[in-house]
Structure 1
Amino acid sequence: MSELALYLPGILMAYAAFFLAISSPGPNVLAVIGTSMAVGRPSGMALALGVATGSFTWAMLTALGLSAVLATYASALLAIKIVGGLYLLWLAYKAFRAAVAHQDVDAKALAGGGRTLWGYARRGYIIQMTNPKAALAWIAIISLGLAPGAPLWVGAVIVLGTFALSIVVHLLYAVAFSTPLMVAAYGRARRVIQATLGTFFAVAGLRLLTDRS
């Protein structure tokens, strides 16, 4: 129980960072929303599951990669934290900039015509896996939760927990945003949401940059 208490704050911090990151609609989420609205809820849900599976793949690869690097080069932790901290500060800047912008959510269906449900799931996976920012995002998230000398189960808990969150949140987007009413509601609350996200990312980024443990 004492070991769980030792690593739980970092695990929860990683969960919070991931949850807030996908609470701010980026290209992947906007594709899910747009597909649900234009094609239908089942297609949006299939795309959402594909995106969530891609997110799980990135999380697993990052956790295994960082664990291997830290096991061989303990001094690499500082460099990893700097990279993750700077990326979180970049996300904070983007969130604050989005908060003062005038445009609302621009959700569009995927180009290329209709697909089968499997086709939408596959497309969602490809979109997530070919996102060049995903690696940096997962370095930041895993760095928040993976303390020096942490056992393997900590990384596993972070990966599986974020996978569950990804499935739930992306499916909620597909279901809730299948009507223009929800998109309009989000547009009204967008500034507050983005400002809140920016504050969290700034705090988390500074934490990584100043943590020397």
Structure 2
Amino acid sequence: MQDVSLYLPGILLAYSAFMVAIASPGPNVLAVMGTSMSVGRSSGISLAMGVAIGSFTWALLTIFGLSALLATYASALLAIKIFGGLYLLWLAYKSFKSAASRHDIEARELAGGRRSPAGYFRRGYLIQMTNPKAALSWIAIISLGLKEDAPLWVGAAIVLGTFALSVIIHLLYALAFSTPVMVRLYGKARRGIQGILGTVFAFAGLRLLTSRS
């Protein structure tokens, strides 16, 4: 029970950073939005599931890669945390810049014509796996929850928890943005949302940079 209380704050912070990262529209989220708006709900759902599985793949690659690195070089955790903190501060800057901009989101239908559900699933997976932001975000997210000499269940909790969140949130995007009302509402609230996201990114980045363990 003592172990749970020791690692739970970091795990919850990793979950929070992950949810904030999804709330900040990148190529994956914009693709789900655009497909749901232009093609339809079922196609958006298929694409969303491909993105979620891609996110799960990145989580596994990151946690195993960082665990192997830390097993060999224990001091590498400090460098990882510095990198992750700086990247989160960069995301904060991008969010604040987006909040200050009057330009709306650019969610468009994917190029290459209409696809089968399996085709949209594959495209979603490919979009997520070739997204540089996804790789960098996962290093920052996992370094938030990973402490030195953390047991295996901590990494498993981060990976499985974020996978469940990824499925739920991307499906909600697909469902919500298949309705014109939600598109209009998001457009009106976009700048405020980006400002909140920037604040959360800045907090997480500073916390990571000032963390001692």
TM-score (norm 2): 0.98
Task: Report the Cα offset of residue 119 of structure 1.
Answer: 0.4
- Per mean C-alpha deviation after superposition, the further-off stretch among 81-90 and 129-138 is 129-138
Letter paired with 2:147: A
Equivalent residue number for residue 156 of structure 2? 156
Deviations 1:66-93 (A, max 9, x none): 1111111001011101110110000000
**Amino acid in the other structure paired with 1:27:** P
Shift in Å at residue 212 of structure 1?
A: 2.4
1:188-203 equivalence runs, <5 A: 188-203=188-203
Paired amino acid for 1:123: R
Residue 39 (str. 1) matches residue 52 (str. 2): no
Distance 1:26 1:180 in 2: 20
Partner amino acid, structure 1, of 2:89: L
Aligned residues: 213
After the TM superposition, list the runs of 4 or more consecutive aligned residues in structure 1 that deviate by more than 6 angstroms.
Answer: none
- Tell me, which stretches of 5 or more residues in structure 2 are unaligned? none
Residue 96 of structure 1 and its aligned partner are, at CA, apart by 0.3
Identity of aligned residues (%): 73
Correspondences of 1:175-186 after superposition (within 5 Å): 175-186=175-186
Shift of 1:210: 1.6
Report the RMSD for the aligned CA atoms in angstroms. 0.8
Q: List per-residue Cα deviations over 1:25-53 (Å, max 9, x = no partner).
A: 22211110110111110000000000000
Instruction: Confirm or deny that 1:137 pairs with 2:141.
Output: no
Q: Separation in 1 of the partners of 2:158 and 2:68?
A: 16
Query: CA offset at residue 180 of structure 1?
Result: 2.1
Please report how far the alpha carbon of residue 187 of structure 1 lies from its aligned counterpart in structure 2 after TM superposition: 1.2
Structure 1 match to 2:126: 126
Match for residue 207 of structure 1?
A: 207
Offset at residue 178 of structure 1 (A): 0.4
TM-score (norm 1): 0.98
- Opposite residue 94 of structure 1, the aligned amino acid is K
Work out whether residues 105 and 183 of structure 1, in 8 Å CA contact, stay in contact via their aligned partners in 2.
no
Unaligned runs of 5+ in 1: none
